[in-house]
């Protein structure tokens, strides 16, 4: 995997665009297979998932087919996004390239995925409001134009709900979660149903009218991070919620974190 990453860094993300008909079917199948395996392993074996993605993007760059290139660049941007603000410029460049290709090929899945990953990268940089808007846009696009994108829809709904959680919009979540859980149950989506239940158990028993005075326990961040596909430390270090900084009783306020925080509530200014 390391050799492939070196190769990607050395060659760059350059490609010669080709139409699908000009690419051998076997090559397209190899690209699709690597994407599917990387996607399937993403939550359970991140090392092998990254390895298959390295294969995936190299194959996609070689084929030059717009849809598969857009899809590969979306995933590449997601991996860069895990570094939070440290790779913000590189992440944005890759996202811009993915979105440009998605619009050029006008493929619903590419457009939905690029919008989804835009939200994920904003989420990992602590830009909750921007992320939430992107997730809702991705959800609408996937529902209207891309039937069958189960994983993408689940991710948009889960991470969009997590944004509302970290923004302190708990009244909205208490209204929205039951409908999302019911829909997931009706479709047999055990993953999404379980993940949304996990968000629900961290909500206060009573409506939160004063967000600044309602503590957001560190256990909530740690408990939610595996469901969002990121490590708790990565999520906490990438977090930047603007407001007055405070740390009371071992918890941090839902709108009181400034800078890069750690799961134990300590702040790095």
At the top level of CATH, which class does the domain 65-205+215-268 belong to? mainly alpha
CB 209 within 8 A of CB 173: no
For residue 267, the SS3 value is strand
Residues 6 or more apart whose CB falls under 8 angstroms from that of 99 comprise 70, 114, 118
d(CA 31, CA 40): 14
d(CA 229, CA 82): 10
**Per-residue pLDDT tens digits for 118-155:** 999 999 999 999 999 999 999 999 999 988 889 999 99
**Per-residue pLDDT tens digits for 156-183:** 999 999 999 999 998 999 999 999 999 9
| Residue 254 per-residue DSSP state | T
CA nearest 131: which of 142, 115, 143, 120? 120
pLDDT at 110 over 50: yes
Q: What is the mean pLDDT of residues 215-234?
A: 46
Output the six-digit token pair for 256: 């009181």
Query: CA dihedral defined by 247, 252, 258, 264, rounded to 10 degrees?
Result: 80
pLDDT at 107 over 50: yes
CB 156 within 8 A of CB 142: yes
**Per-residue pLDDT tens digits for 49-63:** 999 999 999 999 999
Q: pLDDT band at 222, cuts 50/70/90? A: very low
Output the six-digit token pair for 237: 């270090």
Output the pLDDT for position 205: 65
Q: pLDDT band at 206, cuts 50/70/90? A: low
Output the pLDDT for position 201: 83
For the chain, the average pLDDT equals: 79
Which CA distances in Å does 104 have to 3, 63, 69, 72, 147? 31, 16, 11, 15, 21
Output the pLDDT for position 212: 40
Residue with tokens 């857009």: 70
Residues 6 or more apart whose CB falls under 8 angstroms from that of 95 comprise 73, 74, 77, 114, 117, 118, 121
pTM of the model: 0.74
**Per-residue pLDDT tens digits for 6-23:** 877 788 888 888 998 899
Q: What is the mean pLDDT of residues 62-74?
A: 94
Angle between helices 190-200 and 150-167 (to 10 degrees): 0
Output the pLDDT for position 253: 35
Q: What is the mean pLDDT of residues 93-113?
A: 94
């Amino acid at each position: 995997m390391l050799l492939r990453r070196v190769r990607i860094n050395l060659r760059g993300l350059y490609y010669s665009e080709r139409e699908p008909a000009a690419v051998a079917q076997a090559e397209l199948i190899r690209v699709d297979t690597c994407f599917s395996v990387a996607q399937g392993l993403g939550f359970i074996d991140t090392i092998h998932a990254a390895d298959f993605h390295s294969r995936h993007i190299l194959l996609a760059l070689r084929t030059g087919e717009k849809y598969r290139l857009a899809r590969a660049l979306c995933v590449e941007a997601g991996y860069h996004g895990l570094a939070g603000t440290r790779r913000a410029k590189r992440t944005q460049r890759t996202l811009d390239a993915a979105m440009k290709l998605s619009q050029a090929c006008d493929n619903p899945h590419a457009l939905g995925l690029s919008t989804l990953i835009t939200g994920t990268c904003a989420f990992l940089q602590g830009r909750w409001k921007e992320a939430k808007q992107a997730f809702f846009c991705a959800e609408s696009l996937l529902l209207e134009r891309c039937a069958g994108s189960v994983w993408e829809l689940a991710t948009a709904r889960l991470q969009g709900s997590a944004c509302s959680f970290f923004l302190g919009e708990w009244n909205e979540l208490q209204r929205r979660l039951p409908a999302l859980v019911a829909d997931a149950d009706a479709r047999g989506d055990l993953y999404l149903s379980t993940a949304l239940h996990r968000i629900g158990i961290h909500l206060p028993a009573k409506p939160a009218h004063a967000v600044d005075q309602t503590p957001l326990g560190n256990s909530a961040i740690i408990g939610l991070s595996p469901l969002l596909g990121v490590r708790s430390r990565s999520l906490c270090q990438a977090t930047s919620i603007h407001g007055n900084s405070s740390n009371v009783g071992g918890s941090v306020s839902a709108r009181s974190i400034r800078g890069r925080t750690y799961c134990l509530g300590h702040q790095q200014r």
